[in-house]
Amino acid sequence: MEKQKTIKKKVSVNGIGIHTGKKTELTFRPAEKNTGIRFIRVDLPDKPVIPASIFNVSETNLKLRRTSLGSGKAEIHTVEHLLSALFGLGIDNVIIEVNGEEIPALKGSAYDFYKILRDNGIVELDTSKKPLSVKEPMWMRDNDAFLAIFPDNEFRISYTLSYPSSSLNQYLNLVVNEETFSKELAPCKTFCLENEVEQLRAQGLGKGASVENTIVVGKGGVVEGKPTFSDEFARHKVLDLIGDFCLLASSVKGHVVAVKSGHPLNIKFLKKISKLIEKTPSAQKAALNSEAIVPPFDIAKIMKVLPHRYPFLLVDKVLDFEEGKFIVGVKNVTVNEQFFTGHFPERPVMPGVLIIEAMAQTAGILMLSRPENRGKLAYFMSMDKVKFRKTVVPGDQLLLKVNVVKIKSRIIMIRGEAEVKGKTVAEADLMFSLVPKNE
């Protein structure tokens, strides 16, 4: 099996954000196996960590023609070109320190990121990749946009682009590997339609756009900028799609068919398939015994990890996790919960402290599922920046998103968020101590 990869040594790059127009510097650092891709906002207090996960995508910013990641109030905007370059290079693990809110545009493509990282050197790690392998067809439609994926032995994308108002119709069918990515996709620049320019400016976007990083297309063809390919725009859409796929894995086996798909549909679709695509076990997990805990977790697996039992077991299922990075759990809130009999019984509301406890139990699954932590207990040490934003009532489904901020010996710091239907209902910074049961 193909090995995981990271970069050989530290390297930095700086530039202007295409939407904010602000200068930002990125510093890439090597990372250990199974660490994943992590952004760190080094310009903010506490230097918050934002893992590159499909569950950390900012839904609000998707409407602004970019993919943004967030954890708490910290965000990183326009990550798709950089993530696409990482995917093209097969880089699974890297730490990216960012001293601003937006990734630099550079030339409006993935090529500069690709070249800087490639020339800096890439090394293999002693752990196999975790490819996403499609086992059955899946699809999604949003008005006239369509996105589907079918089983395949390689990663292929067939993309149809159509903007009737600008007579822009293009099609691309391509097997994605490092060679095709570097030659056929990486140089392709971002673009916008001439009739969209004023609207984008009114939204406060495109402040860093220029002829060097953006192509403007009118009814008669290219108005500003210089394309590399005659079908540059379909190619760039594929580039963006690959960047969004990187939020799931650095390796994919499946045939993607897309028609007029952009970031909003990409992310919605990827969240769907993240629950259905089978992750090939890594060599490390395959070596574990039959009691190994491999996501997704059902309640039986959760009870093998957590010591809690009814009525205090507050996690029903785990949708996704990456060891040492993040976990996404689910709590289904029903009217039969024991606490509703005494907590505002005439107007049932889930106690806020139990929402925080559900976050903590989700974090506990992440920490205690590691082989070296089996049999230990996770004790609360502190809670900070706790906020309750909306009430939770019977019938709600809590999505519990936990990101690891720092692991130091037996101390773990996490950032937790609870959502209902995409809206944050509670958030908190939590600290735990791992101790053996006999201490």
Task: Find all residues with CB under 8 Å of 59, minimum gap 6, and list them.
Answer: 267, 422
80-89 vs 232-245: helix crossing angle, rounded to 10: 80
User: DSSP states of 336-354 as a string?
Assistant: T-GGGGTSSTTS----HHH
Cross-strand partners of 77 = 102
Distances in Å between the Cα of 201 and the Cα atoms of 21, 140, 207, 215, 237 are 12, 31, 7, 15, 21
Query: Phi-psi region for residue 199, left (φ > 0), alpha (ψ -120 to 50) or beta?
Result: alpha
Indicate if 263 belongs to the active site.
Answer: yes
Amino acid at 208: G
CB burial readout 228-254, b (16+ within 10 A) else e:
eeeebbbbbbbbbbbbbbbbbbbbbbb
The DSSP string of 184-235 is IITTPPEEEEGGGHHHHHHTT--TT--TTTEEEEETTEEEES--SSTTHHHH
Distance linking the first and last C-alpha atoms of the chain: 41
d(CA 211, CA 209): 7
Half-sphere exposure of 284 (CA within 13 A, CB side): 15
CB atoms within 10 A of CB 64: 17
Q: 263-274 and 232-245 helices cross at what angle (nearest 10)? A: 40
Q: Which of 19, 81, 255, 263 is catalytic?
A: 263
- Euclidean distance between CA atoms 55 and 35, whole angstroms: 16
Query: 343 catalytic, yes or no?
Result: yes
Active site residues: 263, 343
